[in-house]
Structure 1
């Protein structure tokens, strides 16, 4: 089948690169892990997150905390007392967003190949 069903190998370099480029001005999710912590301690977290990401890919499951989100109403424009002027924004786990980026990259690469 040409390797189409093979899981991509989540390499430490991929995870490390993502961690080193996290925007430290973004908010933390419900797991309360701030992007600055992951960025500053990237060398400490890279191997563990690589293993978790690889297992998530293979099993199709992600840690429960990575699936949670804090939904905040954000005013788009206009009168703040008009509820129609708000949009929901979900603050999700930073490690969860990292695996989303890795999966997106793997899918994009697969489609391009």
Structure 2
């Protein structure tokens, strides 16, 4: 049974989602101070939605984009994470699109001419 969006995840659920061993998430907690799940009795970790999003971003930086831990720390400190949802292109009406394309054509002609 899947949890609802926004539900807290245990360390095993998050590790399973990311395809990582649990000790990697515990290691990340030592290297990324922003990653602080709730800890209950017996040190059970519960990752809030913000923690889950941050863990996904760290995973993206380290395991997909090839950052080092130090590089990922800097990337997270430098600015907000890009949205995980693909952005939709701006909606232009036909007249605006035609004006934009003509402006591009004119700039290309000037550069070539």
Normalising by the smaller structure, the TM-score range is under 0.3
Structure with more helix by fraction? 2
Rg larger in 1 or in 2? 2
